[in-house]
Structure 1
Amino acid sequence: MPFIKFSQSERRRISLFFICLAVALGAWLFFALSNSYVYQARTVVRFVNFPQNKAFHSLQSDTVKLQIEGTGWQLLFSKMRINPRSVDIDLKDLNKQTFINLSDQLGYINRQFSSTQKIVYVQPDTLYFDFSSRAIKKVPVELVSDIKFVKQYGISDDVKINPSYVTVTGPKEDLSKITVWKTDTLTAKNISRSISSKLAFKHPSMANINIYPSYADVKIPVEEFTEKMVEVTIKVQNNRNYQDVKLLPEKAKIRFMTALSNYSKIDRDYFEVVVDLDNWTQKSYNQLPLKIAKFPDFCRLISIEPQAVDFIIQK
């Protein structure tokens, strides 16, 4: 098939045509995107101004759909343009009714967004709530931490949290599911000294749950650790039918790391090593494996020798 050859002037006219077409399309697109449109975006609801002396359950999802009036440019980039990512809903009217009409709060909602965006409708238009009397419960505090220590260092004693309990208020059925209240994560690296920190508590996942207080003081004692070894007599468990069980050897050597301040305090009385005779009578083991039944807090096990012992049964 022969190629169509254009003269130089014809090529210039074709190039000029496509340039004009591109300019025209660009101008049309610019003016089209500059017009106003209504588009939709989903956002998360945050409740403020909770009703006093009432606990409540929201009867719908924690997200709403916003109808936003804006330019085509905003429509094109709607996912990036929604700011903030959540919308505050005022609950003061729940002191006298069991629902919130979002149409009455459009002015309040619009003040939370950019002046170039106008919220014209919220779906659902009405939020309904189920009420119950508020209950009070005290639950222990649980520290959440991610601490990396310098080699040979570690926690040497009980972690102190003040307060050790928080007061939680909310619906009784929700409080029954709460057994502890966690702190925010305490993150620290290369630690070689004791830690003192003020930590906030985790924010309630449900809007109708409140906690008091909001912060806790945390003190974590940190010391250098050193190695120590003790010999412990091995005890026999579940010897129900035999007069005597002789173990070979009769003692175990436990190597562990302990804080320098505890070195002289930790002795064999802090440990208990046992063997279970059921491993022979029920499982036919030829040797009895050792198990540590008692081990001091804030020590770190290195090894136990031997890991299993021979035995002689006297009927």
Structure 2
Amino acid sequence: MRKKIYIFIASVIFAVILWGAISLSDLYYTNIYVKLTLTNFPQGYTTGSPVPEKIKLRVRGQGWKLVSLNIGPEAEFRVSVGGDSGMQQISLYNYIETNRWLLSDVDIINLHPDSIKFFVEKIISKKLLVTSGLDIEFKPGYGLATDITFTPDSITVWGPKSLLSRMNEIRTIGRIPGPLDSRTATVAGLPSLRGFTYSSNSIDVILDVQRIVDKQFDNITVIVLDKPSTREVVLLPNTVNVNIRGGIVILGKLKPEDFRAFVRYQNVVQDTTGSVSPEILLPKNVTLQFLKPERLRYVIRSF
């Protein structure tokens, strides 16, 4: 009985293989997508034009040959730019023969797109500031206590003149696994832009993540700036309470002397309401929530 089962299984496997071999010998139509690569730019030239990353080929061939196209390494459809600069419009049909190594055993029915248009221009270099384009998730109640630190904080970028000349920064990309609740060091990448290269392709990143809290500092003295020697301005009251928000470690190190509150004499004499709003100079990496009181009355005396 067991021997019959083995014979049956072997027969089924043989039948499947035979059916597959016969089927894959037939002609089929399919769509394949191949990477479009521009080559042979003039020395010192490139393009930043939005050329498609891939093109779609409608092809016909034996089944087993079409299967090999889809399961093999990523193929490239190469287009030689040659020695020309300026605006180029190229029919991709003109490059089918030079890409026969890619599709030697199949027939190409059509291509999409069938032509491309791009601008070939001079490469320039420029130093750009690195800024954040990171996707960051924080644990509830936590956030960045200081600015993100990038190393290097600027890089040299080479790229097409028309685009690079208008750029002043390059933004990092990527998502930081979270939620974050402590200081985190990681590495971020840079965007892949056609025609661009970087002096460094990865950026070291430090995120100073702390619990974000509020803290109040009372009785901060308010001074009057630019007051003539023949005038005296009495503020009522002459102190304010300052409520700020920031990282718990940063707020824990602050003292009342780290704050500066003032009013400008010119604002006092131009006022028509009888009170003025004080200005506050805050320490780094904190934000003002509110002042109390928000406005101060005043009395001007002459000598």
TM-score range, shorter chain: 0.5 to 0.7
Following superposition, the deviation at residue 172 of structure 1 comes to: 3.4
- Which of 123, 135, 140 is the aligned partner of 2:129? 140
1:116–1:250 CA distance, 2 compared to 1 (3 A): farther
3-state SS in 2 of match to 1:147: strand
Residue 156 of structure 1 corresponds to 145
Distance 2:178 2:118 in 1: 47
Residue 79 of structure 1 corresponds to none
Residue 311 of structure 1 corresponds to 298
1:166–1:108 CA distance, 2 compared to 1 (3 A): farther
Unaligned runs of 5+ residues in structure 1 are 1-35, 38-42, 71-86
Distance 2:257 2:34 in 1: 58
Distance 1:220 1:68 in 2: 49
Does the CA contact (< 8 Å) of 2:51 and 2:117 recur in 1?
no
**Mean CA deviation greater in 162-171 or 182-191:** 182-191
Following superposition, the deviation at residue 291 of structure 1 comes to: 2.7
1:52–1:156 CA distance, 2 compared to 1 (3 A): farther
Distance 2:76 2:266 in 1: 64
Following superposition, the deviation at residue 188 of structure 1 comes to: 5.1
What TM-score does the superposition give when structure 2 sets the normalisation length? Answer: 0.65
Residue correspondence of structure 1 range 174-185 to structure 2 within 5 A: 174-185=163-174
Does the CA contact (< 8 Å) of 2:92 and 2:116 recur in 1?
yes
- Which of 199, 210, 224 is the aligned partner of 1:223? 210
Following superposition, the deviation at residue 67 of structure 1 comes to: 8.4
Does the CA contact (< 8 Å) of 2:34 and 2:56 recur in 1?
no
Unaligned runs of 5+ residues in structure 2 are 1-27, 61-74
3-state SS in 2 of match to 1:184: coil
Residue 21 of structure 2 corresponds to none
Distance 1:237 1:117 in 2: 83
Distance 1:58 1:137 in 2: 15
What TM-score does the superposition give when structure 1 sets the normalisation length? Answer: 0.63
**Residue type of the alignment partner of 2:201:** S
Following superposition, the deviation at residue 275 of structure 1 comes to: 2.7
Residue correspondence of structure 1 range 68-83 to structure 2 within 5 A: 68=58
Residue 274 of structure 1 corresponds to 262
Does the CA contact (< 8 Å) of 1:140 and 1:165 recur in 2?
yes
The CA deviation string for residues 14-68 of structure 1, in whole angstroms up to 9 with x for no partner, is: xxxxxxxxxxxxxxxxxxxxxx99xxxxx99954446374223478x74699785
Residue correspondence of structure 1 range 84-95 to structure 2 within 5 A: 90-91=78-79, 93-95=80-82
Distance 1:164 1:289 in 2: 38
- Which of 253, 262, 275 is the aligned partner of 2:250? 262
1:56–1:150 CA distance, 2 compared to 1 (3 A): closer
Does the CA contact (< 8 Å) of 2:91 and 2:114 recur in 1?
no
**Residue type of the alignment partner of 1:210:** T
Distance 1:210 1:247 in 2: 59
The CA deviation string for residues 221-242 of structure 1, in whole angstroms up to 9 with x for no partner, is: 2233554332322133464696
What do you get for the CA RMSD once the two structures are aligned? 4.3
Identity %: 17
Distance 1:44 1:276 in 2: 67
Question: Alignment length, in residue pairs?
Answer: 257
1:131 maps to 2:118: no
Following superposition, the deviation at residue 146 of structure 1 comes to: 4.1
The CA deviation string for residues 96-124 of structure 1, in whole angstroms up to 9 with x for no partner, is: 455555224336779999x9994435666
Does the CA contact (< 8 Å) of 1:275 and 1:288 recur in 2?
yes
Residue correspondence of structure 1 range 1-315 to structure 2 within 5 A: 47-49=37-39, 51=41, 53-57=43-47, 62=51, 68=58, 90-91=78-79, 93-98=80-85, 100=90, 102-106=92-96, 118-120=108-110, 125=115, 127=117, 129-132=119-122, 134-187=123-176, 189-204=178-193, 207-230=194-217, 231-237=219-225, 239=227, 243-263=231-251, 265-292=253-280, 294-315=281-302
Following superposition, the deviation at residue 208 of structure 1 comes to: 2.4
